Structure 1
Amino acid sequence: MSIEKKKYECSALPKGWQREEVIRKSGLSAGKVDVYYYSPNGKKFRSKPQLARYLGDALDLATFDFRSGKINSLLLRKNKKQRGTQFDYSRGVRNDASLVPPIRQTASIFKQPVTVYKTQEGKVKTDFKHGQQEKPKQLFWEKRD
Protein backbone atom coordinates (compact mmCIF):
# COMPACT_ATOMS: atom_id res chain seq x y z
CA MET A 1 0.00 0.00 0.00
CA SER A 2 1.58 3.26 -1.11
CA ILE A 3 0.63 6.58 0.47
CA GLU A 4 1.38 9.90 -1.18
CA LYS A 5 2.58 12.54 1.30
CA LYS A 6 3.28 16.24 0.82
CA LYS A 7 4.86 18.20 3.68
CA TYR A 8 5.56 21.93 3.61
CA GLU A 9 5.77 25.08 5.76
CA CYS A 10 2.42 26.56 6.88
CA SER A 11 2.38 30.36 6.50
CA ALA A 12 -0.82 30.83 8.58
CA LEU A 13 0.82 29.38 11.69
CA PRO A 14 3.96 30.61 13.50
CA LYS A 15 7.41 29.90 12.04
CA GLY A 16 8.48 26.27 12.22
CA TRP A 17 4.98 24.75 11.84
CA GLN A 18 4.55 22.28 8.99
CA ARG A 19 1.44 21.08 7.18
CA GLU A 20 1.21 17.56 5.74
CA GLU A 21 -1.30 16.26 3.18
CA VAL A 22 -1.68 12.47 2.99
CA ILE A 23 -3.70 11.10 0.05
CA ARG A 24 -5.33 7.74 0.69
CA LYS A 25 -4.52 5.26 -2.08
CA SER A 26 -6.82 2.33 -1.29
CA GLY A 27 -10.04 1.36 0.44
CA LEU A 28 -13.48 2.93 0.30
CA SER A 29 -12.05 6.37 1.03
CA ALA A 30 -9.35 6.27 -1.67
CA GLY A 31 -8.55 9.76 -2.92
CA LYS A 32 -9.49 11.44 0.37
CA VAL A 33 -6.87 13.80 1.73
CA ASP A 34 -5.94 13.77 5.42
CA VAL A 35 -4.38 16.96 6.76
CA TYR A 36 -1.94 16.97 9.68
CA TYR A 37 0.07 19.73 11.31
CA TYR A 38 3.44 19.36 13.01
CA SER A 39 4.71 21.73 15.70
CA PRO A 40 8.36 22.88 15.61
CA ASN A 41 9.19 20.13 18.14
CA GLY A 42 7.55 17.43 15.94
CA LYS A 43 4.20 16.89 17.72
CA LYS A 44 1.46 15.76 15.28
CA PHE A 45 -2.03 17.34 15.29
CA ARG A 46 -5.00 15.70 13.54
CA SER A 47 -7.76 18.28 14.22
CA LYS A 48 -8.38 22.00 14.75
CA PRO A 49 -9.59 21.53 18.38
CA GLN A 50 -6.40 19.59 19.15
CA LEU A 51 -4.34 22.41 17.64
CA ALA A 52 -6.30 25.08 19.55
CA ARG A 53 -5.79 23.25 22.87
CA TYR A 54 -2.04 23.09 22.28
CA LEU A 55 -1.66 26.74 21.22
CA GLY A 56 -4.06 28.10 23.86
CA ASP A 57 -4.26 31.91 23.80
CA ALA A 58 -0.97 32.23 21.89
CA LEU A 59 -2.82 32.26 18.55
CA ASP A 60 -6.48 32.87 17.64
CA LEU A 61 -7.63 30.08 15.31
CA ALA A 62 -11.15 31.50 14.76
CA THR A 63 -10.34 32.41 11.14
CA PHE A 64 -7.97 29.49 10.51
CA ASP A 65 -9.22 26.84 8.05
CA PHE A 66 -7.71 23.50 9.07
CA ARG A 67 -8.31 21.77 5.71
CA SER A 68 -6.70 24.45 3.52
CA GLY A 69 -4.13 25.76 6.02
CA LYS A 70 -5.07 29.38 5.31
CA ILE A 71 -6.74 32.26 7.13
CA ASN A 72 -10.35 32.58 5.95
CA SER A 73 -12.18 35.76 7.03
CA LEU A 74 -15.56 34.19 6.13
CA LEU A 75 -15.22 31.85 9.11
CA LEU A 76 -15.14 34.81 11.50
CA ARG A 77 -18.36 36.29 10.07
CA LYS A 78 -20.18 32.97 10.40
CA ASN A 79 -19.20 32.71 14.06
CA LYS A 80 -20.40 36.26 14.82
CA LYS A 81 -23.85 35.50 13.37
CA GLN A 82 -24.17 32.39 15.52
CA ARG A 83 -23.17 34.28 18.67
CA GLY A 84 -25.86 36.94 18.08
CA THR A 85 -28.67 34.39 17.98
CA GLN A 86 -27.89 32.84 21.36
CA PHE A 87 -30.64 32.93 23.99
CA ASP A 88 -30.48 35.70 26.59
CA TYR A 89 -31.02 33.91 29.92
CA SER A 90 -31.20 37.17 31.88
CA ARG A 91 -34.60 38.01 30.29
CA GLY A 92 -36.28 35.11 32.03
CA VAL A 93 -39.04 32.82 30.81
CA ARG A 94 -42.24 34.27 29.39
CA ASN A 95 -45.11 33.82 31.87
CA ASP A 96 -48.03 34.20 29.49
CA ALA A 97 -51.63 33.18 30.25
CA SER A 98 -52.07 32.09 26.62
CA LEU A 99 -49.60 29.27 27.20
CA VAL A 100 -51.91 26.43 28.22
CA PRO A 101 -50.34 23.07 28.98
CA PRO A 102 -51.54 20.29 26.68
CA ILE A 103 -54.22 17.89 27.91
CA ARG A 104 -53.20 14.26 27.76
CA GLN A 105 -55.45 12.18 25.55
CA THR A 106 -55.97 8.52 26.34
CA ALA A 107 -57.30 5.83 24.06
CA SER A 108 -61.09 5.44 24.12
CA ILE A 109 -60.90 1.66 24.68
CA PHE A 110 -59.75 2.28 28.25
CA LYS A 111 -62.92 4.25 29.04
CA GLN A 112 -65.27 1.30 28.43
CA PRO A 113 -67.02 -0.21 31.48
CA VAL A 114 -65.61 -3.39 32.97
CA THR A 115 -67.69 -6.14 34.59
CA VAL A 116 -66.09 -8.20 37.36
CA TYR A 117 -67.38 -11.73 38.01
CA LYS A 118 -66.63 -13.41 41.34
CA THR A 119 -66.85 -17.20 41.61
CA GLN A 120 -67.05 -19.40 44.69
CA GLU A 121 -64.55 -21.97 43.41
CA GLY A 122 -61.23 -21.82 45.16
CA LYS A 123 -59.56 -24.29 42.85
CA VAL A 124 -56.93 -23.21 40.36
CA LYS A 125 -57.98 -23.84 36.80
CA THR A 126 -55.66 -26.04 34.79
CA ASP A 127 -54.45 -24.84 31.45
CA PHE A 128 -56.13 -26.99 28.82
CA LYS A 129 -53.72 -25.94 26.10
CA HIS A 130 -50.70 -27.32 27.87
CA GLY A 131 -52.43 -30.11 29.76
CA GLN A 132 -52.20 -33.73 28.71
CA GLN A 133 -51.09 -33.88 25.12
CA GLU A 134 -49.86 -36.70 22.99
CA LYS A 135 -46.14 -36.84 22.44
CA PRO A 136 -45.11 -35.91 18.89
CA LYS A 137 -44.50 -38.84 16.59
CA GLN A 138 -41.89 -39.11 13.92
CA LEU A 139 -43.44 -39.44 10.47
CA PHE A 140 -40.57 -41.03 8.57
CA TRP A 141 -38.36 -43.68 10.05
CA GLU A 142 -34.86 -44.23 8.82
CA LYS A 143 -33.22 -47.57 9.32
CA ARG A 144 -29.88 -47.28 11.06
CA ASP A 145 -27.09 -49.69 10.18
Structure 2
Amino acid sequence: MRSPAVVLLHEPIEPQQLAGLVVAVAGAAVITVTRPRDLGHWRSWALLLPLASALVRGIVPPIAKLGLAIWPSPLWACLIGYIMSSLVVLTVQRIRKGSFVVQAPREGRFWFALTGISNGLSALSLFAAVRNGPITLVAPLAAIYPLLTVIGVALVLIA
Protein backbone atom coordinates (compact mmCIF):
# COMPACT_ATOMS: atom_id res chain seq x y z
CA MET A 1 0.00 0.00 0.00
CA ARG A 2 1.57 3.27 -1.09
CA SER A 3 0.86 6.67 0.32
CA PRO A 4 -0.69 9.28 -1.99
CA ALA A 5 2.27 11.55 -1.17
CA VAL A 6 4.68 8.87 -2.33
CA VAL A 7 2.70 8.13 -5.51
CA LEU A 8 1.56 11.63 -6.54
CA LEU A 9 4.44 13.76 -5.27
CA HIS A 10 7.25 11.18 -5.52
CA GLU A 11 8.31 11.82 -1.94
CA PRO A 12 10.62 9.27 -0.33
CA ILE A 13 9.27 7.21 2.55
CA GLU A 14 11.68 6.66 5.41
CA PRO A 15 11.91 3.31 7.24
CA GLN A 16 10.42 4.75 10.45
CA GLN A 17 7.47 6.14 8.48
CA LEU A 18 6.91 2.76 6.88
CA ALA A 19 7.07 1.16 10.33
CA GLY A 20 4.47 3.65 11.61
CA LEU A 21 2.20 2.83 8.67
CA VAL A 22 2.50 -0.90 9.35
CA VAL A 23 1.77 -0.38 13.08
CA ALA A 24 -1.32 1.76 12.30
CA VAL A 25 -2.73 -0.79 9.83
CA ALA A 26 -1.95 -3.65 12.23
CA GLY A 27 -3.72 -1.76 15.04
CA ALA A 28 -6.84 -1.34 12.93
CA ALA A 29 -6.72 -5.04 12.04
CA VAL A 30 -6.33 -6.06 15.70
CA ILE A 31 -9.28 -3.89 16.75
CA THR A 32 -11.40 -5.43 14.01
CA VAL A 33 -10.47 -9.04 14.68
CA THR A 34 -10.51 -8.96 18.49
CA ARG A 35 -13.72 -7.05 19.10
CA PRO A 36 -16.29 -8.87 21.25
CA ARG A 37 -19.19 -10.49 19.44
CA ASP A 38 -21.76 -9.59 22.09
CA LEU A 39 -21.93 -5.86 21.40
CA GLY A 40 -25.62 -6.07 20.52
CA HIS A 41 -26.48 -3.11 18.31
CA TRP A 42 -22.91 -2.62 17.10
CA ARG A 43 -22.67 -3.09 13.36
CA SER A 44 -19.64 -4.11 11.38
CA TRP A 45 -20.20 -1.34 8.85
CA ALA A 46 -19.48 1.17 11.63
CA LEU A 47 -15.84 0.12 11.39
CA LEU A 48 -15.82 1.80 7.98
CA LEU A 49 -16.22 5.21 9.63
CA PRO A 50 -12.70 5.41 11.15
CA LEU A 51 -11.24 3.76 8.06
CA ALA A 52 -12.94 6.32 5.79
CA SER A 53 -11.72 9.09 8.08
CA ALA A 54 -8.17 7.75 7.85
CA LEU A 55 -8.49 7.57 4.07
CA VAL A 56 -9.61 11.20 3.86
CA ARG A 57 -6.86 12.19 6.31
CA GLY A 58 -4.30 10.49 4.07
CA ILE A 59 -5.56 11.90 0.77
CA VAL A 60 -6.18 15.55 1.69
CA PRO A 61 -2.58 16.70 2.45
CA PRO A 62 -1.13 15.55 -0.91
CA ILE A 63 -4.05 17.19 -2.73
CA ALA A 64 -3.49 20.35 -0.70
CA LYS A 65 0.21 20.23 -1.59
CA LEU A 66 -0.69 19.99 -5.29
CA GLY A 67 -3.06 22.93 -4.88
CA LEU A 68 -0.40 24.94 -3.04
CA ALA A 69 2.00 24.27 -5.91
CA ILE A 70 -0.48 26.03 -8.21
CA TRP A 71 -1.47 28.81 -5.80
CA PRO A 72 1.16 29.01 -3.02
CA SER A 73 -0.86 30.79 -0.34
CA PRO A 74 -1.62 28.90 2.90
CA LEU A 75 -3.93 31.74 3.94
CA TRP A 76 -6.13 31.33 0.84
CA ALA A 77 -6.08 27.54 1.21
CA CYS A 78 -7.31 27.94 4.78
CA LEU A 79 -9.98 30.46 3.75
CA ILE A 80 -11.26 28.24 0.94
CA GLY A 81 -11.37 25.24 3.30
CA TYR A 82 -13.36 27.21 5.88
CA ILE A 83 -15.79 28.55 3.28
CA MET A 84 -16.46 25.02 2.02
CA SER A 85 -16.90 23.69 5.57
CA SER A 86 -19.30 26.52 6.39
CA LEU A 87 -21.35 25.80 3.27
CA VAL A 88 -21.65 22.13 4.23
CA VAL A 89 -22.68 22.96 7.81
CA LEU A 90 -25.23 25.54 6.67
CA THR A 91 -26.65 23.17 4.05
CA VAL A 92 -27.07 20.40 6.62
CA GLN A 93 -28.69 22.92 9.01
CA ARG A 94 -31.05 24.05 6.27
CA ILE A 95 -32.02 20.46 5.41
CA ARG A 96 -32.51 19.42 9.05
CA LYS A 97 -34.21 22.52 10.47
CA GLY A 98 -35.50 24.38 7.41
CA SER A 99 -33.50 27.48 8.35
CA PHE A 100 -29.93 28.75 8.22
CA VAL A 101 -30.21 30.16 11.74
CA VAL A 102 -28.18 28.30 14.34
CA GLN A 103 -29.30 28.93 17.91
CA ALA A 104 -26.58 29.04 20.54
CA PRO A 105 -26.55 30.30 24.13
CA ARG A 106 -24.58 33.48 24.74
CA GLU A 107 -22.11 31.71 27.07
CA GLY A 108 -21.26 29.16 24.40
CA ARG A 109 -20.51 31.72 21.71
CA PHE A 110 -17.25 32.80 23.33
CA TRP A 111 -15.98 29.21 23.49
CA PHE A 112 -17.22 28.55 19.96
CA ALA A 113 -15.28 31.58 18.68
CA LEU A 114 -12.16 30.63 20.65
CA THR A 115 -12.31 27.09 19.30
CA GLY A 116 -12.80 28.41 15.75
CA ILE A 117 -9.79 30.72 16.06
CA SER A 118 -7.63 27.90 17.44
CA ASN A 119 -8.78 25.52 14.72
CA GLY A 120 -8.19 28.17 12.05
CA LEU A 121 -4.65 28.80 13.29
CA SER A 122 -3.97 25.07 13.32
CA ALA A 123 -5.28 24.72 9.74
CA LEU A 124 -3.18 27.70 8.64
CA SER A 125 -0.12 26.16 10.30
CA LEU A 126 -0.83 22.84 8.61
CA PHE A 127 -1.13 24.43 5.17
CA ALA A 128 2.07 26.43 5.73
CA ALA A 129 3.89 23.25 6.78
CA VAL A 130 2.48 21.32 3.80
CA ARG A 131 3.62 24.09 1.46
CA ASN A 132 7.15 24.15 2.85
CA GLY A 133 7.83 20.55 3.86
CA PRO A 134 7.38 16.99 2.66
CA ILE A 135 3.96 15.41 3.23
CA THR A 136 5.59 12.24 4.52
CA LEU A 137 6.92 14.30 7.46
CA VAL A 138 4.14 16.87 7.97
CA ALA A 139 1.06 14.62 7.83
CA PRO A 140 2.20 12.11 10.51
CA LEU A 141 3.21 14.95 12.83
CA ALA A 142 -0.14 16.66 12.35
CA ALA A 143 -1.99 13.38 12.87
CA ILE A 144 -0.64 12.85 16.40
CA TYR A 145 -2.33 15.94 17.85
CA PRO A 146 -5.02 13.83 19.63
CA LEU A 147 -2.28 11.94 21.47
CA LEU A 148 -0.59 15.19 22.47
CA THR A 149 -3.95 16.56 23.61
CA VAL A 150 -4.58 13.53 25.83
CA ILE A 151 -1.09 13.79 27.32
CA GLY A 152 -1.51 17.53 27.90
CA VAL A 153 -4.88 17.09 29.59
CA ALA A 154 -3.47 14.29 31.74
CA LEU A 155 -0.59 16.53 32.83
CA VAL A 156 -2.99 19.34 33.70
CA LEU A 157 -5.27 17.03 35.68
CA ILE A 158 -2.35 15.45 37.55
CA ALA A 159 -0.88 18.82 38.55
User: Is the shorter-chain TM-score for this pair beyond 0.5, marking a shared fold?
Assistant: no
| Bigger relative CO (Cα 8 Å, ≥ 6 apart) | 2
Which protein has the bigger strand share? 1
Give the greater-gyration-radius structure (CA). 1
TM bracket, shorter-chain basis? under 0.3
TM-score (norm 2): 0.20
TM-score (norm 1): 0.21
Which protein has the bigger helix share? 2
